[in-house]
């Protein structure tokens, strides 16, 4: 993997433990080396952003952490155990929300799928679905089909389904890449507050530097919290980081 | 019925009328043709003396039982082969060697093994119905959006849950098209078996009328079989609309 831009911050001081660890992880698929000797540690409760040019293996690294791939050599561990398959406490938000939702189920039905998978009794599902829809800002849309919802709403729905798993870790693969700028900013703030409130660990893959710096925890230097879509983005530290990251990615692209 | 909907009926009606006129003017004497009025009279008589209703019951019983057995086998194999590539490869030669055998060619064997009657006919119909169901189900399962399968892994759905909640609903619209195809084949094969050898049902009725040199009755049977096939198709299309109206719209499947 050529580019993993992780930048550091202080909030991690009280969490020394490692939740997800890549140890010299290498992945070859179809004779091509996609990731080579990746070392990366993710601590509990951390919001980690992976940025890089397209095709550099960001998504593949995320899929390793998800257990959708196994490393060819090296190890990827969750809480010390090697990840061999997807785990219930790790939820994945896919970029193509339209393909990851069941078109023949309503919004409520799609969330219910996650509850059915964890064998939640049928009588408890209704209340939990309602609470989840409210949490992601979709109250009153329970009976809509995904095809009747906008892109932003569909992505909210996918996030709600992931939250239904009650994950301790969220893996997000360019979740807002296909959304328009305004929807995107709204969702960024909501994901920040949702995950911050529940101390959820997040690995967030994006090709958007601004997004990575805005959301990320581990950033060199210190950006004031709470984040603000305008003030944070105009903060000199934000601009400095942006410049630094940009140069870094530019340099690794060849 | 409005004039617009009646228009497609004009040509057949005109042809029938012309044929009737021609038959009367030339005082038609034939072992293979009869004027439409005579055919209708023979049909009415055969309906009234219950010979056609009883024959219909026999044919449809054999056709539907064979269809049910054949589709169930084809559906299960199609799902299994669609999900598991290794299994599909393992069975490829076997399937491709058995599939081209015309179901009617099994008649001599089935006759020796099972004798005259329903059982032999059902086995042959079932054999004919397995293949369209198997081939189309397999391709429907294979063309399921890979992201949905990945999502089902990420949610940790069990294998039976995955088949019941993802694979079958996603493939259902196309499976139903296969079922419609099989239903048509079932009727054709059932009547063919009866014409060739089995002394029950509509096919046997046609042969009896032919041997009695009753061209009118023979054609009445033909007309009746046409009506049954037409009604069956209308029924299945209506069922398809009812079952998949919404899903078909959302998924874009036929």
Is B185 a domain residue? yes
ipTM for the whole complex: 0.76
Residue B212: domain span? 36-251
Collect all residues of chain A within an 8 Å Cβ-Cβ radius of residue B156.
Answer: 86-88, 117-118
Contact A241/A219 with Cβ under 8 angstroms?
yes
Name A33's bridge partners. Answer: A28
Is the per-residue pLDDT at B1 higher than 70?
A: no
**pLDDT score of A47:** 86
Is the per-residue pLDDT at B186 higher than 70?
A: yes
Q: Mean pLDDT check: name the lowest of B12-16, B31-35, B247-251.
A: B247-251
* Average model confidence (pLDDT) across chain A: 82
**pLDDT score of A220:** 40
Residue-wise pLDDT for B54-96, tens only, equals: 999 999 999 999 999 999 999 999 999 999 999 999 999 999 9
Collect all residues of chain B within an 8 Å Cβ-Cβ radius of residue A165.
Answer: 155
**pLDDT score of B245:** 65
- CA distance linking residue A197 with residue A200, whole number of Å: 8
Length of chain A: 254
Is the per-residue pLDDT at B199 higher than 70?
A: yes
Mean pLDDT across the stretch A227-251? Answer: 76
Residue-wise pLDDT for B120-141, tens only, equals: 999 999 999 999 999 999 999 9
> pLDDT grade, residue A49 (50/70/90)?
confident
The CA-atom distances, in angstroms, between B3 and each of A194, B7, B9, B18 are: 62, 6, 10, 21
B38's tokens: 């005579």
**pLDDT score of B52:** 93
**pLDDT score of A38:** 82
DSSP codes, chain A: ---------GGGGG--S-SEEEEEEEEEETTEEEEEEEEEEE-TT-EEEEE--TTSSHHHHHHHHHTSS--SEEEEEETTEE--S--TTEEEE-S-HHHHS-TTS-HHHHHHHHHHHTT--HHHHHHHHHHHHHHTT-TT-TT--GGGS-HHHHHHHHHHHHHHT--SEEEEESTTTTS-HHHHHHHHHHHHHHHHHTT-EEEEEES-HHHHHHH-S--SS---SS--TTHHHHSHHHHHHHHHHHHHHHHHT-
> For the whole prediction, is pTM greater than 0.80?
no
> pLDDT grade, residue A60 (50/70/90)?
confident
Residue-wise pLDDT for A96-147, tens only, equals: 888 899 998 999 999 999 999 888 898 989 999 999 998 888 888 989 999 9
Dihedral of alpha carbons B89, B94, B95, B100, sign: positive
Helices A151-164 and A181-197, packing angle to 10 deg: 20
Q: How many angstroms separate the CA of residue A147 from the nearest CA in chain B?
A: 6
Is the per-residue pLDDT at A9 higher than 50?
A: no
With CA atoms as reference, report the closest residue to A209 among A253, A240, A172.
A240
Mean pLDDT across the stretch A193-199? Answer: 85
Mean pLDDT across the stretch B186-198? Answer: 93
The CA-atom distances, in angstroms, between A204 and each of A82, A209, B147 are: 21, 12, 19
Give the closest of B147, B246, B250 to A100, CB-based.
B147
Q: How many angstroms separate the CA of residue B153 from the nearest CA in chain A?
A: 7
Is B28 a domain residue? no
- CA distance linking residue A196 with residue A162, whole number of Å: 16
Give the closest of B147, B166, B250 to A99, CB-based.
B147
| A201-206 β-sheet, strand order | A47-51, A201-206, A169-173, A90-93
Is B25 a domain residue? no
Give the closest of A68, A99, A117 to B155, CB-based.
A117
Is B187 a domain residue? yes
**pLDDT score of A98:** 86
Q: Mean pLDDT check: name the lowest of A225-234, B133-142, B170-179.
A: A225-234
Residues 142-171 of B with CB under 8 A from A: 145, 147-148, 150-151, 153-158, 161, 165-166, 169-170
Which tops the pLDDT comparison, B83 or B4? B83
Q: What is the tally of structural domains in chain B?
A: 1
B43's tokens: 């049909």
Tell me the CATH number at B233: 1.10.3720.10
**pLDDT score of A10:** 41
Burial class (CB in 10 A: 0-12, 13-18, 19+), A244: middle
Is the per-residue pLDDT at B243 higher than 60?
A: yes
Q: Mean pLDDT check: name the lowest of A61-65, A200-204, A222-226.
A: A222-226
The CA-atom distances, in angstroms, between A202 and each of A90, A91, A195, B246 are: 10, 10, 8, 36
Q: How many angstroms separate the CA of residue A99 from the nearest CA in chain B?
A: 6
Mean pLDDT across the stretch B42-60? Answer: 93
Q: How many angstroms separate the CA of residue A210 from the nearest CA in chain B?
A: 28
Is B43 a domain residue? yes
Is B30 a domain residue? no
Is B14 a domain residue? no
Is B2 a domain residue? no
With CA atoms as reference, report the closest residue to B202 among B216, B213, B217, B215.
B217
**pLDDT score of B222:** 93
């Amino acid at each position: 993997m050529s580019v993993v831009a992780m930048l550091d911050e202080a909030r991690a001081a009280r969490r020394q433990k490692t939740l997800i660890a890549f140890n010299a992880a290498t992945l070859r698929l179809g004779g091509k080396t996609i990731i080579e000797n990746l070392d990366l540690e993710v601590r509990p409760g951390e919001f980690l952003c992976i940025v890089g040019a397209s095709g550099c293996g960001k998504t593949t690294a995320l899929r390793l952490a998800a257990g959708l791939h196994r490393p060819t050599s090296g190890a990827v561990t969750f809480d010390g155990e090697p990840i061999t398959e997807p785990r219930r406490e790790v939820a994945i938000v896919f970029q193509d929300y339209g393909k990851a939702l069941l078109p023949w189920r309503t919004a409520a039905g799609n969330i219910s799928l996650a509850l059915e998978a964890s064998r939640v009794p049928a009588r408890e599902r209704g209340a939990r679905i309602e609470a989840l829809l409210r949490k992601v800002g979709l109250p009153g849309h329970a009976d809509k089909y995904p095809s009747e919802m906008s892109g932003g709403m569909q992505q909210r729905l996918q996030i709600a389904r992931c939250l239904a798993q009650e994950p301790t870790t969220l893996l997000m693969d360019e979740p807002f890449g296909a959304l328009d700028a305004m929807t995107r900013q709204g969702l960024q703030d909501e994901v920040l507050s949702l995950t911050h409130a529940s101390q959820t660990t997040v690995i967030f893959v994006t090709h958007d530097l601004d997004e990575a710096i805005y959301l990320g925890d581990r950033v060199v230097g210190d950006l004031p919290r709470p984040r603000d879509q305008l003030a944070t983005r105009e903060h000199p530290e934000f601009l400095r980081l942006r410049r630094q990251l940009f140069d870094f990615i530019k340099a690794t692209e060849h | 019925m409005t004039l617009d909907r009646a228009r497609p009926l004009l040509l057949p009606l005109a042809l029938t009328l012309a044929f009737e006129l021609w038959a009367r003017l030339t005082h038609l004497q034939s072992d293979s043709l009869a004027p439409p009025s005579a055919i209708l009279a023979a049909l009415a008589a055969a309906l009234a003396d219950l010979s056609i209703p009883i024959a219909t019951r026999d044919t449809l019983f054999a056709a539907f039982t064979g269809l049910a057995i054949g589709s169930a086998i084809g559906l299960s194999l199609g799902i299994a082969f669609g999900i598991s590539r290794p299994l599909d490869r393992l069975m490829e030669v076997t399937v491709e060697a058995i599939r081209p055998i015309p179901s009617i060619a099994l008649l001599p064997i089935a006759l020796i093994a099972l004798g005259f009657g329903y059982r032999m006919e059902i086995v042959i119909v079932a054999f004919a119905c397995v293949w369209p169901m198997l081939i189309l189900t397999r391709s429907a399962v294979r063309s399921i959006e890979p992201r949905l399968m990945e999502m089902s892994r990420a949610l940790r759905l069990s294998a039976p849950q995955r088949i019941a909640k993802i694979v079958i609903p996603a493939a259902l619209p196309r499976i139903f098209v296969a079922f419609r195809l099989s239903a048509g084949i079932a009727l054709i094969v059932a009547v063919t078996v009866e014409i060739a050898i089995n002394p029950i049902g509509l096919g046997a009725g046609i042969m009896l009328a032919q041997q009695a040199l009753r061209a009118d009755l023979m054609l009445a049977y033909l007309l009746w079989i046409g009506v049954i096939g037409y009604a069956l198709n209308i029924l299945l299309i209506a069922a398809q609309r009812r079952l998949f109206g919404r899903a078909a719209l959302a998924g874009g499947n036929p």
